[in-house]
Amino acid sequence: MTPEEIQQIRLSMGVTQERFAALLGTTLTTVNRWENGRFKPSRLYIKEIQNLRKKHELHLRRREEPKHT
């Protein structure tokens, strides 16, 4: 996962690096280093980032679905 992909996922969720870190159970410094390419996330964090993205996309789809009354 590239630094650009990580940043794009975070921005698409509309959250700060600090909030993204909290959602992943890591630190702001770590997320900043991932996005700046200084460090790469472990496989565990890559999986967590992918899960967060999926949950966010699901949430957006649910909000966009027409309500049946």
Q: Residue 16 is part of which domain span?
A: 3-64
CATH number of 36's domain: 1.10.260.40
Q: What pLDDT does residue 63 have?
A: 76
In a domain, residue 69? The reply is no
The pLDDT tens digits for 13-59 are 999 999 999 999 999 999 999 999 999 999 999 999 999 999 999 98
With 80 as the cut, is the pLDDT of residue 65 above it? no
Number of domains in the chain: 1
Q: What pLDDT does residue 59 have?
A: 87
- Per-position b or e across 27-37, b if 16+ CB within 10 A of its CB: eeebbeebbee
pTM beyond cutoff 0.95: no
* CA–CA separation, 48 and 7 (whole Å): 14
